[in-house]
Amino acid sequence: MKALVTIAGLALAAALIAALLQLPPAAVQLPAQVAANMAQSGVEHPVTAVLLNFRGYDTLLEVAVLLLALLTLLTLSGGAAPAPDGGADALLRGVARLALPLIVLTAGYLLWAGAHRPGGAFQAGAVLAAGAVLLQLAGLLPAWVGPQRLLRLGLVLGFLVFLGVAATLLGGGALLRYPPERAGGLILLIEAGLTLSLGLILAGLFLFVTGRRS
Amino acid sequence: MSTGLLYALAGVLLFVLGAAGVVVLAHLLRKILAFNVMGSGAFLVLVGLAQREGVVDPVPQAMVLTGIVVAVAATALALGLARALHARTGRTGLSEGARLD
């Protein structure tokens, strides 16, 4: 079995590498198109412009996928029983306490920096989620058993803000085509909502699972 | 050979390594990890291939950024499913005989 898989894998790798090496240059020059439209995007960093302006619908649906994954995870086990507290040591607790303000500050910076350099809602949300997971591992934050009303609102806020902006702009004839003069503000609004919600969703993927004995 | 192409080729190797792992490994946790290796390989191909002529292309980068976050969610979901399977049947693999722990 293993020998067979090894041979098949090597053959697949050889075929894929041969295909990559023969690939003709791209027929569509996407970097040039992005550069040509940067002035209307409302932000200065091309990745953020693609992510939230030129292909904003991708990101909108991605947030929906994240919510769906979290909902499915929540339906997996009904009987919720908080996991026993792991006896976290004092050093970890101390470091987590010291690190948390820095984590929140970093998330805020990443959110703001996304407009003109690498950064943005996803990175900021991931940093926030990492902070929540760190707190839980240090025993400072109890695992989440079930989403209460406020948490539910936080989880869907980013998606709702995004959807609301998309619905408001539908009159323009295309999904998520921002008016150039207001694009920057709208993108920052969406990203702020996304940062909070993505942080909660990603943290929830960990904290809801540890909070339930399935 | 440009750096971008080198990344893409490394991505191909990671992808194949992960695919072999998904087939060979019996423990679900290992399968999920192998699936992640596969996904990382695909991301590396996407980003590396797009900049093989030296020009950074933001479109695949944004796609991969989207993909990474979705992969995290999918991994968490897969882990949750594996955990539920283990809780109900005591199995850690897909086949009947897989009781490794």
What's the pTM? Answer: 0.84
Residue identified by tokens 């996904």 is B39
Q: Which pLDDT does position A80 carry in this prediction?
A: 46
Task: Give the separation between CA A30 and CA A11, rounded to whole angstroms.
Answer: 32
A143-172 residue pLDDT tens: 787 778 888 899 999 999 988 888 888 877
Tally Cβ neighbours within 10 Å of residue A14: 12
> A86 versus A102: which is more confidently predicted?
A102
Average pLDDT value for residue range B2-24? 92
Q: Which pLDDT does position A172 carry in this prediction?
A: 72
Alpha helices per DSSP H over A50-120: 56-76, 90-113
Task: Give the separation between CA A128 and CA A145, rounded to whole angstroms.
Answer: 19
Average pLDDT value for residue range A73-84? 63
Q: Would the pLDDT of A78 be above 60?
A: no
Q: Which pLDDT does position A195 carry in this prediction?
A: 92
Total beta-carbon pairs less than 8 A apart between chain A and chain B: 112
Q: Which pLDDT does position B14 carry in this prediction?
A: 95
Q: Which pLDDT does position B101 carry in this prediction?
A: 44
Domains belonging to chain B, first-starting first, are: 3-89 (1.10.287.3510)
Q: How high is the mean pLDDT of chain A?
A: 84
Q: Would the pLDDT of A4 be above 80?
A: yes
A12-16, A186-190, B41-45, B54-58: the lowest-pLDDT one: B54-58
A36-45, A78-87, A101-110: the lowest-pLDDT one: A78-87
In percent, the amount of chain B with pLDDT more than 70 equals: 94
Q: Which pLDDT does position A118 carry in this prediction?
A: 83
CB contact under 8 A, B69 and A198: yes
Average pLDDT value for residue range A2-26? 89
3-class DSSP assignment, residue A142: coil
- Share of chain A residues as helix, strand and coil, in percent rounded to the nearest 5: 75, 0, 25
CB contact under 8 A, A5 and B49: no
Task: Give the separation between CA B40 and CA B34, rounded to whole angstroms.
Answer: 10
A167-200 residue pLDDT tens: 888 877 777 778 877 888 888 888 899 999 999 9
Average pLDDT value for residue range B78-82? 89
| Terminal Cα distance for chain A, rounded | 34
Q: Would the pLDDT of A127 be above 90?
A: yes
Interface list for chain B against chain A, based on CB atoms closer than 8 Å: 5, 8-9, 12-13, 15-17, 19-20, 23-24, 45, 49-50, 53, 55-59, 61-63, 65-66, 68-70, 72-74, 76-77, 79-81, 83-84, 87
Give the CA radius of gyration of chain B: 17
Chain A hits for B59, Cβ within 8 Å? 30-31, 34, 50, 54-55
A32-47 residue pLDDT tens: 888 888 888 878 888 8
CB contact under 8 A, A205 and B72: yes
Q: Which pLDDT does position A185 carry in this prediction?
A: 85
Whole-number Cα distances in Å, B48 to A92, A139, B11, B12, B13: 38, 41, 8, 11, 13
> A77 versus A158: which is more confidently predicted?
A158
Q: Which pLDDT does position B100 carry in this prediction?
A: 47
Whole-number Cα distances in Å, A148 to A152, A166, A204, B66: 6, 27, 12, 28
3-state secondary structure chain B: CCHHHHHHHHHHHHHHHHHHHHHHCCCHHHHHHHHHHHHHHHHHHHHHHHCCCCCCCHHHHHHHHHHHHHHHHHHHHHHHHHHHHHHHHCCCCCCCCCCCC
Confidence of residue A64 (pLDDT cuts 50, 70, 90): very high
Highest mean pLDDT among B13-17, B61-65, B97-101: B13-17
- Search chain A and give the residue with CA nearest B76: A205
Task: Give the separation between CA A126 and CA B10, rounded to whole angstroms.
Answer: 26
The minimal CB distance from A20 to the residues B9, B20, B56 is found for B9
What is the nearest CA distance from B88 to chain A, expressed in angstroms?
A: 8
Chain A hits for B73, Cβ within 8 Å? 65-66, 69-70, 201-202, 205
CB contact under 8 A, B13 and A13: yes
Contact A119/A111 with Cβ under 8 angstroms? Answer: yes
